Structure 1
Amino acid sequence: MKRVVSLLIVLLALNSCDDGDLIQEDISFEDTKTLSCTTNNIIFKLKDKESLLLEIPESSFVNEPTPEGEPTIIAINSTNRVVYRFYSGTVSQDNICETIPPASPAVTDQWTATDGEIQITTTAVKTTNTSTGRTTITGYNHNIVFKNITFDKGDGTSFVKETFPFGDYVTTATTLPFGFDEVVEQCSTSKQIYNYTSSEALTLDDIDPDLIKNEITPLDAPRTGLTGTTVNKLVYRLYSNGVLTPSYFCNTTTPTLPTKSEEWIADAGVANVSGIIEVTTTSVLGTFIHKIVLKKVILTSGNSNFTLGDSYIYGELITTN
């Protein structure tokens, strides 16, 4: 009789806990691959008969590293949705992205997030050329974590988790062409030095006059300077909506077209460490050829940066007396 009474007490306790209370369970998709649909704003993860879906605007994933300890925070609501689904069989990408999903496997259960927030920590993905030391940003990694997320299980109960890692989602970065030749020009008045293609420019503004002199230098003793925020300001710009031509440069007022789409500014150089400008001058038939080399220059835009490498030939400037 005592055993029967004890069993009834346990059953009553279980039933009372399932009546709208928050139930802690273990769900993990962190180690599965993140996939995305091309026709909508859904990114998702699949695992056997389960899927975890995140629907937020693509603009939520900004190609800009977040400051340390300051992730992008997005509230979970009817626009920013998180859904956990169960299926009658093994689920595939077609079940998520197709306008008319396959009839099988069928969705057998669905939990919908009703509260919490989405935290996104973004870092740049870089590759390094081992021979030149130059780095290239190939994409941005967005690490997604749900905080204090609550799922409505649809049966009067809820599932809540304080920290629920979703995983990583990678977006691609704009490729910076750097298709310059090794011939640079200089404005007669402003003395700005520039190299350009039809869609990009690399300018050296307010160059130190001691760097460009019509005096031959020993090959092993070039003139040196450092990139700076005023003098020797090195700037890379990428353009759109038009073609860049020589007439764009040396104007008192910057032309409105083409449109500047990206701008990267060199960090202030540190002697013998970074941001070094070397100029070697030779002479041929009364003209002077100034070869400008940039060493360990770091270019920054917002919280992103990359290096031009150990030694980058900016180009040759020809002057006369």
Structure 2
Amino acid sequence: MKQFLGIVVCALALNSCDDGNLIVENIDFTDVPTQSCTTNDLLYKLNDQESLILNIPSTTFSNNPTDVGDPISLDINSTNQVVYTFYNGKVVTANICDVIKPPTPSVNSQWNATSGKIQITVTQQSTSDATNNSTTITGYNNNIVFKNITFDKGDGTTQFYETFSYGDYLVKAVPLPFAFNGILSKCDNSNEVYDFSPSESFTLIIDPLLIANEVTLPNKPRIGVIGATVNKLAYRLFTNGVVTKSYFCNATVPVLPSVSQEWLGKVGGTIEVTTTTLTANSFTHTIVLKNVTLLKGNSSFLLGDNYKYGELITIK
């Protein structure tokens, strides 16, 4: 990407012209939305005849909120670049993102940042479902600020900003599948209960007292609390393979498929188990999760007031 932006800068320089009258004193893109190229890592803002390009690795943008007062910080250098350009006409996306640039407009002035810090504060964006009080993560907002940034104006002078707000860049979240059928299984050699689909699993290390082979009284379910070891709840999303029943109940966790995301139940949520008779010697345990939150780093979402984890059949 460094080489790509270098080509862009050179191409702009070759096509630039000086009308002899332009003097840029200050730059301000506060109210301009951030856009991104689809073919590279460039972020950019366009304001009539001006552009402000930010070139940093796409992996910088994390799907995890930053701690308060501790933003992601990058040095401005040959890898992390900030470039301001003023054109002699209205600039469009093609002037920034296309490999072969349009012949017009041409460049009147270009500033290259030579030092400073890029600071990114990440916050989670969510929506709520009022019917069950569940939440869904929709994306992660990256608020970008330049600190102590110095621009080389290309004419022997520089421009310094102690604080320069670039603005927000929203990375959309990919929804978790949660494509479970609610038919639970239990390991014979442990207290792990599980449900799975080809790309995910939902496991619960359940307190065995919650699934006793005794019918519960009406409106009197057995109640447990999500914990760090007992009643430990974990959602996992996988890549590089398909999840099958053979993945579970092993002394050693299989290497494949590999885990791409793991969300753990927040300590304190409630488990309710209602047991009914299936046959003379078997029982159906309906497991419901109430007010349970799943956590991954600083990200979180609510399963809602009542989430039916599934039904487990046991034999007496």
Distance 2:149 2:59 in 1: 22
Match of 1:279 in 2: 273
Match of 2:258 in 1: 259
User: Highest Rg: 1 or 2?
Assistant: 1
Distance 2:83 2:225 in 1: 53
Alignment of 1:125-144 (within 5 A): 125-144=125-144
Q: Is the 8 A contact 1:41 1:56 kept in 2?
A: yes
Distance 2:217 2:26 in 1: 70
Q: CA deviation at 1:170?
A: 1.3
Alignment of 1:196-275 (within 5 A): 196-205=196-205, 207-269=206-268, 275=269
- 5+ long unaligned stretches in structure 1: 1-22, 270-274
Match of 1:69 in 2: 69
Residue 85 of structure 2 is aligned to residue 85 of structure 1:
yes
Distance 2:231 2:258 in 1: 24
Q: CA deviation at 1:218?
A: 2.0
Distance 1:255 1:99 in 2: 44
Listed one character per residue, the Cα deviations across residues 162-214 of structure 1 (whole Å, up to 9, x for unaligned) are: 10000011112232100111210111110210011111000001x21221111
Match of 1:5 in 2: none
Match of 1:304 in 2: 299
Q: Is the 8 A contact 1:296 1:310 kept in 2?
A: yes
Give the ranges of 4+ consecutive aligned residues of structure 1 lying more than 6 Å apart after TM superposition: none
Question: Which residue identity lines up with residue 277 of structure 1 in the other structure?
Answer: I
Question: Which residue identity lines up with residue 229 of structure 1 in the other structure?
Answer: A
Distance 1:142 1:233 in 2: 32
Distance 1:258 1:53 in 2: 39
Q: CA deviation at 1:144?
A: 0.1
Distance 1:252 1:185 in 2: 17
Q: SS of 1:308's equivalent?
A: strand
Listed one character per residue, the Cα deviations across residues 251-309 of structure 1 (whole Å, up to 9, x for unaligned) are: 1111121111111111111xxxxx10000111132221100000111111111111111
- 5+ long unaligned stretches in structure 2: 1-22
Match of 1:290 in 2: 285
Question: Which residue identity lines up with residue 309 of structure 1 in the other structure?
Answer: G
Q: What is the total number of aligned residue pairs between the two structures?
A: 293
Listed one character per residue, the Cα deviations across residues 75-132 of structure 1 (whole Å, up to 9, x for unaligned) are: 0011111011101111110110011111111111101111111000011111112212
Q: SS of 1:161's equivalent?
A: strand
Question: Which residue identity lines up with residue 87 of structure 1 in the other structure?
Answer: Y
Q: Which moved more, 1:289-298 or 1:132-141?
A: 132-141
Q: Is the 8 A contact 2:191 2:207 kept in 1?
A: no
Distance 2:184 2:311 in 1: 6
Question: Which residue identity lines up with residue 183 of structure 2 in the other structure?
Answer: V
Listed one character per residue, the Cα deviations across residues 210-254 of structure 1 (whole Å, up to 9, x for unaligned) are: 211111112311110100001100000011111111111111111
